[in-house]
Structures are given as C-alpha cells and as structure tokens.
Structure 1
Amino acid sequence: MTTSPRFGVNYTPSKGWFHHWLDFDLDDVRADLDSIAALGLDHVRVFPLWPLFQPNRTLIRPRAVEQLVELADAAAERGLDVAVDGLQGHLSSFDFQPSWTVSWHRRNMFTDPDVVDGQAAYLRTLAAALADRPAFLGMTLGNEINQFSGDPHPDPDRITPAQAERWLRRMLDACEQGAPGRMHLHAEYDASWYVDDHPFTPAHAARLGAVTAVHSWVFNGTAQRYGADSPATGQHAAYMIELSKAWAEDPHRPVWLQEVGAPAPHIPADRAAGFTRTTIAAALDCPGVWGVTWWCSHDVDRALADFPELEYTLGLLTNDRRVKPAGREIARIVEELRAGNGRAAPRTTALVVDLPDDAAGRSLCGPGGAVFEAFMRLSTEGVRPTTVLAGRAADPSHLAARGITRLVTVDDAGVGRRASPSSRASS
C-alpha cells in the first residue's frame, strides 16, 4: 500500500433516510452526492435495504437493482467510488429483515440452508450488477450483521464461531462469483473484538475477506469511562486498527476504518470538530490503513420518529445539505492529506496480547480491560504501539515483516490484568 489513504463517507440520504429506496428520486440522490463531493471525498458506502430488494426468497426486484446501479453511476460521475453493503440488516438501531426470515417463517439467518441460499443469490446478484462499473469497489456482506447472532439482540439467531465462519465464507464466495477480483469484505460491530463469547471473532475479521473492517464508536463505554477529551477517546479508532493486526496472518493486511463518528452527547457538539481531527490524525498514524469512511453524510431528518437521539446529528452535513463543523474539518483534513506524504511509518513497539488464537478472554481488549489500558498508557507516554498475539511474539519473521523491534507486556506497561466487557449494543 503505497498510495495515500482513501477518504469517504457512509451515505445517508437527506430525504427519507434509507427509506428513500421506497420513493427513489435520482435528482435528490445527485444533489446529495454533489454535497458529498464538494467536501473533497473520494468514495461513498451505500446501503440497500434487504427486505425491499429481496422481499421474497426467490424474488430479487430488478427495478431495485437498477436503482442501485443508477446511484453508483451518479456517484461515479462526481468522482466518487462506491462500496455497497448487502444485507441490511441493521442500521441505526432498526432491523431490516425480510418477512421470509421472521415470525411465521422464523429461521436462523446464518444456518438455515434455504435462507443462506437466498442470501448468497442476493449478494451475487448485486455484485454482478455492478461488476462492470469501474467505480465499484466491492461488497460488504452487511452492516454489523453480527448483532443478530447474540446478546443484546432481543431475538438472536445463535450460532457458534465455526458456524459464523462457514456463513462468512459462503457469503464472501457469492460476492466473488458476482464480481471477481473486487474488494469484498465483512464488517462487525466491536463485540467481535471485546465480548468474550461472541461468535464472530477477531480472527474472522482479520483473516476473511479482502481487508479488515473496523467500526469505532466511543459510546461503547470509552467516552463514558474516560471522558470526551481523554486520550483513550481520541485514540480509540487507532487502537482498534492496531488491535486488529494481532490476529492478521498477513503482516501487511490493509485495515479499513469503515465507520467512525462523533456521537452526541458523548462528544458534545462544540467538540465534534476537535474530536474529528484528533481521531483521524491518530488513525492516519497507523500504517496499512486503506481508508477512513465517516459516519455519516447527512443528518437524519427529525421528522422521522423513534431514532436514538445520537443518531439524528451524526452527519457531516445537515439534512438540508449545509456543511457542519465536522464536515468542514474533514474537508480540511482531506486537503492537507493530499498535500502530504501519504503513509504512516511502521510502529516498532508491540504490546503483547496474551490471548489464544480463538480470542477467549477478549474482554481484556475492551474499555477498562488490561490490554486497552496498557495500549493507552503507552500512547500517552509518546509510544506508537501496535499489538501482537503472544503466540507470534517469538516469531522473528513475523515481527520483522511488521517492523516490530520491541515487545512490551501488560505488566511492563504497569497495568493489572483485569477485564471490563464493552457496554455497546450496536448502531
């Protein structure tokens, strides 16, 4: 990875939120994309709603797929590449599952053969429809779809880690069949990294798919525990990026900071621009970052009911397309980045994560846990830490490939071994 990191935004339509697919208006989409491109960004991540695109297991609506392609073409006309999430799935506290998976047709979405076949057909169809578009980056299986697999979801489809891996491999294969050679991946919320018994694991995130996706949200207990202006809050995204590398088999595997935002009131509105700059600067100080994709483009219209309060104000732009302070800050950062020298230097000090490959005990990595606190202590002392699993700490070839010349244990960092699982549900 020799080029500068990519900068983009998760596209939340200004009119109708993701319900805009019900009343798709290409002119409105074009106006939204114009306001995004004006910030100097280079890509968008877009979200079809699964029940609207595949209302029956054997019906993938051609017109809905055409509208997705129209959106992608409109983005390309404005110099924006397009990444597409498939199984929505879950967005901003709302679940979107087709009727053929719930209620009278209740089936486990990860293990039922008919459901899995239907999902694979859907992902393959979307990928194939976009495969010949040069601006198409690739598919993400769905947005934080791991939240369906366990607590705190009110009606989870429980699975084992082995079943999660089989499902991920099948879905990624379907995307590759539809659009060979594109950047296909999966993305989970931070339970994968911080919750001991969660079936989607760090190894899944760091080894399956083209890149590792990280979703960094400081309302997961970080801002509550350490404060909005704390180093831990400002470094959280960088920490997740570097934590992911402990489980990666490829020492040069790219990491995509696919979601990060400034949620109020955890980050007060008058501090959003500062948090944005601090967070992005820390993330860009991590080598191997494919890109940063902010959540989200436009605020949610307050005419829409029942969203958690923080979801209404996460946009870089208002829902009437006015640029907000965080949006202006993003635009400045992008301009500075393009005038800079690109990639971060290697991080030569590695914090040893004394966990097994299957991440049993991974709550040590969450806010308040020993690994988390040791990393933050090193950071505040001026060290630029990364992480390495204890099982690889004695592998000189692995360390050399990553540029690691110094190992530090939790005890070396002066942190007692304690754990505090993440409190975040999902968003």
Structure 2
Amino acid sequence: MTDRTPRFGANYTPSQDWMFQWMDIDADAVRADFEALAGLGLDHVRVFPLWPVLQPNRTLIRRKALQDIAVVADVAAEFELDIAVDVIQGHMSGFDFVPAWLVNWHEGNMFVDEAAIQAQAALVSAVYDAVRDRPNLIGLTLGNELNQFQLPNPAAMPADSDQIAHWLTTLLEAPVDPDPRHLFTHSENDHLWYRDGHPFLPEHASRLGDITTVHSWIFNGTAKRYGGLSSQSVRHAEWMIELSKAFATDPQRLVWLQEVGAPSMNLTDAEMPEFASRTVEAALSSPGLYGITWWCSHDVSRSLGDYKDLEYSLGLLDVDNAVKPLGRRFAELVADARAGAGTTVMPRTVGVVVDVDDDDLPTSRADLAPGGRVFERWHDLRAQGRPVTVVTSRTAADPRALADRGITALDTVPNRAG
C-alpha cells in the first residue's frame, strides 16, 4: 500500500434547504458553500442528489436533474474542489427517499426485482455520462448506505447475499466505457461488519468496486460503552479501516474513510475538536488510506423539523457559512497532514485473527462489534502501541498471503469462558 498523503473533504449538506436543494439547485448558494469549504483547505466534496428527483418514474431520468449535478461539479471546480457523486439517495440522515414506483401500490424491491435493478443501472450510467468529462470528477458511489433498506428498516426490501452481490455488480458495471481514472464504489453502514445475518457482507465491501469505503460512527454503541473520548471511540475509524483489509483479496486495495463525524449525543461541543484531532491522527496511521471525508459540511437548519437532534450540529460550518471550532480544528489537521507534520504511517505487522467459515464469512460478526472479543482485543493491543491489523483465519493459514501484507505475527483471540 502507498503512503501518499490522503485526500481531505466533506460530505456536502447544503446550507440552504439541506438535500432538498437538489429539487431546484441555486448555484449561487452552492458557490458560497463551496467557497467556505475551500477556505478550510479541503480538496473534495461528496454530493447527494435525491433519487426521486433524479428518477421519479422507473423509465424517466430527468435531464434537468442531471444538468444540476454538472452545474454543482462546475461550481466545485471554481474553487479547485474535486467532486464525488452518490447516485441513489436512498437513505439520508434518518430519512428514506424512495421513488413512488417502488412503494405502496407499486411495491417493489430495489435489490431483487430485475426491472428495478436495470432502472437503477440506467441511472448510474446516466449520472456518470452527465459528469464524466468534468476534470474534477473523482467518481461515483452507488448510493448512501443502501444496506439500511434491510432490517430493521420498517420498509425493508429483503434480499439474500447472492442477490445483493448481483445488484452491486450490475450497478458498478453500468457505466459504458468508464474512464480508468474514475472510482466506482459503494457504501454501507457498520451493520455490514457488525450484524450477524445481514445480507451485505464484508467481502462485498472489500472486494467489489475500485476502493473500500467505511463509515465510522461512535453512536453505534462504542461511545456509550467506552466513552466519547475513549481510546475505543477515537480509534473506531482506524479499527474499521484495518478490519476492512482482512477481507480484501488485493493487499494494495485502498480504503476511503468516507464518513466520520462528531455526534452531539456522545460529545459536548467542547469535546468535538479533540475527538476530530484524535480520530484523524489515528486514521492517518493506517497504511493505504485513500482519504477522509468528514460528515458533514454544514449543520442542518433548525428551521427544518423532525431530524434527530445530532443532525443539527454535525457541520464543520454553520448555516451562515461561519466556521465552527470543529471546522477550525479540522482545517488545522488538514494543513498539518499536508505539511508532513504529526502522524506517521504505522506498518501493520501483527494480525488479530477473525474466524471465518469456508465462504469467508465471520463466524460471529458480533465479535467485531463494540463489546465483541475481537474488537476489544484489537483495541487493547493498539492501546499498548502494537502495530495491529486484522486477518481472517484463512489468511492466517496462508504464509504467502501474510507475507503479501507484511504480517509477521498473529494474535488469536481466546474464546470467552462461559
């Protein structure tokens, strides 16, 4: 894995009207937002046009909506910001945005119904064609945490793991003649890693698409169990980066920390800058890190109702584009990283072993979650300064695979008594 300086960016939540801005893009409002983000030293934004706005009918992809994505890409370029586009939103900040042709009287399954899969593939291809010639395009993510349309979502669209693999592969391969400089990937929340029985699998995240993405949130039980500024919380992102490598078949595959943020339910305002410092420093110690994209750019306006309270305070900037203390600290971390100051990449030579079955599925994904025996063993060793990563039991039995990853020692986690 390369030790290049990672990219730094923000997940773009428009300061005006949140994601509903995509219903009628105001280029001047976007311009003000991007100017403020560029002022933090960021090099990219990740954007989220809403699925029902793009594709309100299964056979209608709105030309104006595609043009709006191109407009936003061009505005980003004015401030030397590259842009990554998520296609299917999908799920955002506690709300689902599903077009009418998949719900109620027309109830369908986005993962299983072949007509729906082909419609989504057409949308991926159309969005790519709308921006493929923009020099500041990073690439596409299929959508934001679409695994949240499995249980426990009250409107779950059930699918098995083979059907999920078919859905992912079909959409990832949808763009025609893609530019090899562009990335095509997908994202999931940590249910993929931590929830037994979930049809999205670790191997999907670490083997399908051009790059692995991880979304690290300490409101998943980490902060409640250990504390918001505990070693386990500030290294949760680092843990997920290293965990994802266990299931990659390419030892050089990069990992994108695509979402990480400082939730108010677990941290006071005064603690957020420290959480950012320690989280970023820990993540930067992992080899093969593509980039860090903070969630999120702007607070949600208090004029918008019914969000969970944390959504109103996650931004680096407030709704008036004023830089918050969290934003100032993140900008300092970006500047330090680019100057070569601070964190040094730590080669990972000790592999904590995850037991897997013949299909490379963890025998207990709960072991990988907060409170799980593998989770706690890795964090205990890391707190001691050990250069730990994660390997599967299959890799642990393969000297060549260990050598390819530079692993010289293994740590097998004992089963808990009782």
Shift of 1:390: 0.7
> For residue 236 of structure 2, what is the aligned residue in structure 1?
236
Sort the Cα spacing of 1:301 and 1:417 in 2 relative to 1 into closer, same or farther, 3 A.
farther
**Residue of structure 1 equivalent to 2:413:** 410
Determine the structure 1 residue equivalent to 2:163: 163
Local SS of the residue matching 1:163: helix
Which residue type is aligned with residue 110 of structure 1?
F
Q: Distance in 1 between matches of 2:417 and 2:184?
A: 37
Residue 294 of structure 1 is matched in structure 2 by: 294
Residue aligning to 1:390: 393
The whole-number CA distance in structure 1 between the counterparts of 2:129 and 2:401 is 37
Verify: 1:96 aligned to 2:92, yes or no. Answer: no
After TM superposition, give the deviation of residue 114 of structure 1 in Å. 1.2
Q: Which runs of 4+ in 1 moved over 2 A?
A: 175-181, 415-418
Aligned to 1:85: 86
Distance (whole Å) between structure 2 residues aligned to residue 160 and residue 324 of structure 1? 43
Report the residue type matching 1:365 in the other structure: L
Residue 213 (structure 2) aligns with: 213
Which string of whole-angstrom CA distances, capped at 9 and with x for unpartnered residues, describes residues 246-279 of structure 1? Answer: 1000011100000000001211111000000000
Q: Structure 2: which amino acid aligns with 1:238?
A: E
Give the corresponding residue for 2:255.
Answer: 255
**Equivalent in the alignment of 1:316:** 316
TM-score, normalised to structure 1, is 0.95
Aligned pairs for 1:6-405 (under 5 A) are 6-149=7-150, 151-175=151-175, 177=177, 181-340=181-340, 344-356=345-357, 357-405=360-408
Structure 2: distance between partners of 1:18 and 1:162 = 32
State the Cα distance separating 1:398 from its structure 2 match.
1.5
What are the Cα deviations for residues 163-191 of structure 1, in whole angstroms up to 9, with x where unaligned?
A: 10000000000136565552000100000
Aligned length: 414
1:228 and 1:267 in contact (8 A); partners too:
yes
Distance in 1 between the 2:393 and 2:3 partners? 29
Amino acid at match of 2:26: D
Q: Which secondary structure state, in structure 1, belongs to the residue aligned with residue 143 of structure 2?
A: coil
* Contact in 2 for aligned 1:370/1:417 (Cα 8 Å): no
* Structure 1 residues 294 and 105: alpha-carbon distance in aligned structure 2, compared to 1, 3 A threshold: same
SS in 1 for 2:30: helix
In the TM superposition, residue 132 of structure 1 has moved relative to its aligned partner by 0.9
Q: In 2, are the aligned partners of 1:126 and 1:178 still within 8 Å (CA)?
A: no
Q: Is the 8 A contact 1:347 1:384 kept in 2?
A: yes
- Report the CA distance between 1:360 and its aligned residue: 3.6
1:128 Cα deviation from its structure 2 partner: 1.0
Query: 1:365-418 CA deviation, whole Å, 9 max, x = no partner?
Result: 00000110001111111112100001111222221221111111113xxx7379
- 5+ long unaligned stretches in structure 1: 419-427
* Local SS of the residue matching 2:271: helix
Indicate how the Cα distance of structure 1 residues 226 and 189 shifts in structure 2: closer, same or farther if over 3 A, else same: same
Contact 2:237–2:279 (CA under 8 A) maintained in structure 1:
yes
Is the Cα contact below 8 Å between 1:197 and 1:360 reproduced in 2? no
Q: Is the 8 A contact 2:3 2:345 kept in 1?
A: no
Q: Which amino acid aligns with 2:226?
A: Y
Name which of structure 1's ranges 189-198 and 52-61 shifts more when overlaid on structure 2.
52-61
Q: Report how far residue 3 of structure 1 moved.
A: 2.4
How many Å separate the matches in 2 of 1:80 and 1:384? 34
- Tell me the TM-score normalised to structure 2 length: 0.97
2:111, 2:24 → 1: CA distance?
Answer: 30
What is the SS of the residue equivalent to 2:297? coil
CA separation in 2, counterparts of 1:19 and 1:312?
A: 15
> What letter is aligned with 1:27?
D
Query: Helix, strand or coil for the counterpart of 1:157?
Result: coil
Q: Distance in 2 between matches of 1:237 and 1:402?
A: 20
Which digits, 9 at most, give the CA deviation of each residue in 1:193-235, with x for residues without a partner?
A: 0001000000000000000000000000000111112110111
* Residue identity opposite 1:380 in structure 2: A
Task: Report the residue type matching 1:396 in the other structure.
Answer: P
Instruction: Please name the residue that 1:422 is paired with.
Output: none
SS at match of 1:386: strand
Task: Kindly state the Cα deviation for residue 66 of structure 1 after the two structures are TM-superposed.
Answer: 0.6
The 3-state SS of whatever aligns with 1:175 is coil
Classify 1:179/1:111 alpha carbon distance in 2 versus 1 (closer, same or farther; 3 Å): farther
SS at match of 2:304: coil
Provide the rounded CA distance (Å) in 1 between the counterparts of 2:144 and 2:179.
19
**396-405 vs 383-392, greater mean Cα deviation:** 396-405
The separation in 2 between residues aligned to 1:210 and 1:235, in whole angstroms, is 25
SS in 1 for 2:319: coil
Q: For 2:307, what is the secondary structure of its paired residue?
A: coil
- Conserved? CA contact 1:355–1:362, under 8 Å: no
Cα separation, 2, equivalents of 1:148 and 1:328:
35
Residues 195, 362 of structure 1: 8 Å contact kept: yes
Moved more, 387-396 or 136-145: 387-396
